[in-house]
Structure 1
Amino acid sequence: MDELPDWRASRPWPAAPKICVAGAGGIGGTLAARLGAAGREVVVHARGASRDAIRRNGIELADLSGSVRVDVPVSDRAEFGVQDIVFACSKSHAMPALLEAVAPMIGPETLVIPAINGVPWWYFIGNGGREEGRPVRAVDPEGRLAAMFPAHQLLGCVVYITAEALAPGRVVARNPHRMILGELDGRSSERLRQVGALLSDAGIHVRTSPRIRDDVWTKLVGNLTSNPLSVVIGATLQDIYGAAELRELVSAMTDEVLRVAERCGATIDLDPETFFAHAASLGAVRTSMLQDYEKGQGLELAAIGDAVLELAERHRVPMPTTRTILALTRFRAARRDDSTTRFIKDEHVESVPGGRRLYQP
């Protein structure tokens, strides 16, 4: 197991830590807005339209606390110097490129907090288990992420922020913001307490956990039973967990995920019926995967689906229902991409009277 370095135990925590939020989507925009509104020294790494919108108008967040607009420094280059904390907020498949882009801002004492869904690349890193160091191929096939930082620079994180970027720099969140933080080795630390305190001061409900991987699996139950299915049937959380017609399907997927979690050594205190009722009560929330599907973006199937199937195969746990839903999700995404390609090719096709179509060079 990666030994506890002296600086993690004894290094004084900075009174005003420098914070970078890398990625300005729903989660990143929410974190940057809440931290900035709380008076924290925060900078944002963003590209393209998001960078331009934040540079012009700041970040606008509408959540249960009201509406807030904050001006924050933003750039698509790593030009803000070494940071104390980097919140890495991207889809799992975009994480290697994001962390490489902000690498100049990550020093040997920078704390990196990946705010991602699904099975994280660090799952078998830093806990000293019998699979210590074993990669999760679905999320880190070449080992790029595992090689970037030693385990002691990472803080485990599970995010419950149901936010949506309505437009670049404009975020709406209709439910309370919650985050769970934990050291990869399960120990308590001053930095864990301090990060929890600064997030709490910013209006985010924080719980620290000595078993952060249990919390990863608890969220995976929700991710895997809702995200792919939402793409297949175009449903909200209220539909997926509240519709009687879907109960048998969702229950079967839940049972499969829980069996894999148990074989991986996780302890999950979850009553499925209570979980379904709570998830349905969140209302007409569109999952992040459904939002990505509708925007024509890549789907986070590797971390949320393929990684769980990989672990299921290691432990010989069958997941027939989950496999079927993932296959349907991929089929629908492929059809979407194929339709987009045909649309682009047909941009030179013009309709004429009589219903005929002429190709224009």
Structure 2
Amino acid sequence: MPHLPQIKVPATYMRGGTSKGVFFRLQDLPEVAQVPGRARDALLLRVIGSPDPYGKQIDGMGAATSSTSKAVIVSKSKRPGHDVDYLFGQVSIDQPFVDWSGNCGNLSAAVGPFAISNGLVDAGRVPRDGMATVRIWQANIGKTIVAHLPITGGAVQETGDFELDGVTFPSAEVQLEFIDPADEGEGEGGGAMFPTGQVVDDLEVPGIGTLKATLINAGIPTIFVNAEAIGYTGTELQDAINGDARALAMFEAIRAHGALRMGLIQHIDEAARRQHTPKVAFVARPAGYTASSGKPIAPGDVDLLVRALSMGKLHHAMMGTAAVAIGTAAAIPGTLVNLAAGGSERNAVCFGHPSGTLRVGAEAAQVDGQWRVTKALMSRSARVLMEGQVRVPGDIFE
């Protein structure tokens, strides 16, 4: 039986924030994969090394965590006022699907650097020295992200002294603005960022009980619950939860019933096929703990504590999109996030996560009785890890 040679596809392996992913220019993909569909998904699954029943992604570029099983496709934008279109795929580790339902806020930090380095931004918009601004259309959720990144000698500056908890080494700071981050889709609340029309709901979860919950569409659909209501303190690290099958089942039940309440799915069984969204997180008032790096976090270092799950596991730090949801919810009086932070009005919050702390800001105001957020802001960093060609078996499209 003849065996086809491997296909070579130009690609860049990048870190963005506390995530890693394989980046492609749309024009470099095989023609059959330049449009959405089975061929594109098959290509990305094989690139990342999924589905892998061993859960290791040994035969691919993934690293067996939700933070590292990701793919990004970037192209010049045809949308007025934007430089590039950015499409994100969350690749399942052990199942044969790619979830296109949401954004990755961490990898958003790498889109601007990738776009400039790969000739997708008009050269006249890139200074020889100074700050470049890249306007990004996030195609998954139909939102604008503005990236501000340093340029030195006409090239993207990647090294620097900006430190980000959850990333070992310092690098250059990338400032991100998530413009109008709330989802304006249909929901019980008539298209507001709170799909039920309430900042706090009673969420019934069979087998667990009725939990107070803030259900918000900002950055990414997120379900916030109080840590103490589910038996936690908010100081937990990954090992306290990810090795507990009962805990993971509880969080998945909360996520599934929250998704149903938010109108993201029509039947509870659909949640299993929509793993990337919504996220589920639990919040608590400030307390001291030791981060996963050994760094001590004092109660006075943070405004509140947040732990969030991604793709069924407690995240090692914080998803960038969930950070946008945290910043947005913190700015709106009465949400569980705002109450955990003390209940006062604020336009920025510093929260504790398993790897340390993160500051995120949001500009919120009431318009005609509805809360609106014009932008959320945070800083991340990004760096090219490897560039060249990724190879996949030639029979993947058969």
Normalising by structure 1, what TM-score? 0.30
Bigger proportion of residues as strand: 2
TM-score normalized by the length of structure 2 = 0.28
Q: Which one has a larger percent helix, Structure 1 or Structure 2?
A: 1
